[in-house]
Structure 1
Amino acid sequence: MKKQNKLKIINDPIYGFITIPSELIFDLIEHPYFQRLRRISQMGLSHLVYPGAQHTRFQHALGCLYLMQKAIQTLKFKGIKITKDEEEATLIAILLHDIGHSPFSHALENSLIEGLSHENLSLEFMETLNQDFNGKLDLAIKIFKGNYDKEFLTQLVAGQLDIDRLDYLKRDSFYTGVAEGNINSDRLITMINVRDNQLMIEEKGIYSVEKFLLARRLMYWQVYLHKTSLGAELILIKILQRAKELIQKGNELQSNSSLSYFLNHNILYDNFSLEILERFAQLDDYDIMTAIKQWQNHSDRILSKLCQMLINRKLFKVKLKNKAFKAKKIENIKHNIQKQFNITSEEAKYFFFEGKTSNQAYNYDYQQIMILFKNEKIKEVSQVSDQLNLKTLAQPVVKYYICYPKGLQ
Structure 2
Amino acid sequence: MKRIFDEVHGTIELDDVATSLVDEPVFQRLRRIRQTSLAYIVYPGANHTRFSHSLGAYYLTEKIGKKLVKEGFISDSELNDVKIASLLHDIGQFPFSHAIESFYIKKGFSNKDLRDLILMSSFDEAIEKYGLDLKRIREILNGETLLTSLIDGDADVDRMDYLLRDSIHTGIQLGRIDLERLIFTITYNESGITVQDKGIISLENFYLSRLHMYQAVYYHKTILGYELFLTSLYSKMIEECETRLNVEDIKSMISYGTFPYWDDEWIFGSLYRCYSNSSNSTLSQMIKDFLDRRGPKVIYDEIGYGDKGDNEFKEATEKLSRVIPSDSIYPFEEIINIFDKSRIKVISKDKELSLSEYPTLLNTIPEKLVIRRVYVDRRYAEKAREML
> With structure 1 as the length reference, what TM-score do the two structures score?
0.81
Q: Secondary structure at the match of 2:361?
A: coil
Show CA shifts across 1:297-351 (max 9, x none).
42452111110011111122113433414357414651xxxxxxxxxxxxx3333
Equivalence for 2:350: 375
**1:197–1:308 CA distance, 2 compared to 1 (3 A):** closer
Q: What letter corresponds to residue 207 of structure 2 in structure 1?
A: L
Shift of 1:57: 0.2
Shift of 1:162: 0.7
Equivalence for 1:24: 17
Range with greater deviation from structure 2 (304-313 or 232-241): 232-241
Q: Are positions 1:326 and 2:319 aligned together? A: no
Structure 1 segments (4+ residues) deviating >6 Å: none
Q: What letter corresponds to residue 285 of structure 1 in structure 2?
A: D
Among candidates 387, 391, 396, match of residue 361 of structure 2: 387
Q: Are positions 1:68 and 2:61 aligned together? A: yes
How many pairs are equivalent? 366
Equivalence for 2:172: 178
> What is the rounded CA distance, in whole Å, between the counterparts of 2:44 and 2:200 in structure 1?
34
Among candidates 132, 138, 143, match of residue 140 of structure 2: 143
Q: What letter corresponds to residue 39 of structure 1 in structure 2?
A: R
Aligned-residue CA RMSD (Å):
2.6
CA contact (8 A) 1:302 1:350 kept: no
Equivalence for 1:294: 273
Show CA shifts across 1:133-155 (max 9, x none).
2633433223223334xx1x221
> What is the rounded CA distance, in whole Å, between the counterparts of 1:87 and 1:286 in structure 2?
35
Which is helix-richer, 1 or 2?
A: 2
Equivalence for 1:307: 287
CA contact (8 A) 1:360 1:393 kept: no
Q: What letter corresponds to residue 290 of structure 1 in structure 2?
A: G
Q: Secondary structure at the match of 2:90?
A: coil
CA contact (8 A) 1:61 1:96 kept: yes
Which segments of 5 or more consecutive residues in structure 2 lack a partner in the other structure? 303-311, 384-388
**1:212–1:319 CA distance, 2 compared to 1 (3 A):** farther
Among candidates 42, 48, 51, match of residue 49 of structure 1: 42
CA contact (8 A) 2:26 2:259 kept: no
Paired residues for 1:116-155 under 5 Å: 116-133=109-126, 135=128, 136-138=132-134, 139-148=136-145, 151=146, 153-155=147-149
Shift of 1:62: 0.5
Q: What letter corresponds to residue 326 of structure 1 in structure 2?
A: A
CA contact (8 A) 1:93 1:141 kept: yes
CA contact (8 A) 1:10 1:19 kept: yes
> What is the rounded CA distance, in whole Å, between the counterparts of 1:333 and 1:143 in structure 2?
49
Which segments of 5 or more consecutive residues in structure 1 lack a partner in the other structure? 1-6, 247-252, 335-347
> What is the rounded CA distance, in whole Å, between the counterparts of 2:255 and 2:376 in structure 1?
33
**1:195–1:230 CA distance, 2 compared to 1 (3 A):** closer
Q: What letter corresponds to residue 172 of structure 2 in structure 1?
A: V
Equivalence for 1:339: none
CA contact (8 A) 1:93 1:143 kept: yes
Q: Secondary structure at the match of 2:113?
A: helix
Q: Secondary structure at the match of 1:28?
A: helix
Identity of aligned residues (%): 31
Equivalence for 1:158: 152
> What is the rounded CA distance, in whole Å, between the counterparts of 2:154 and 2:192 in structure 1?
12
> With structure 2 as the length reference, what TM-score do the two structures score?
0.85
**1:160–1:15 CA distance, 2 compared to 1 (3 A):** same
Q: What letter corresponds to residue 384 of structure 1 in structure 2?
A: Y
Shift of 1:274: 8.1
Shift of 1:395: 3.5
CA contact (8 A) 2:46 2:169 kept: yes
**1:215–1:320 CA distance, 2 compared to 1 (3 A):** farther
CA contact (8 A) 1:227 1:319 kept: no
CA contact (8 A) 2:92 2:118 kept: yes
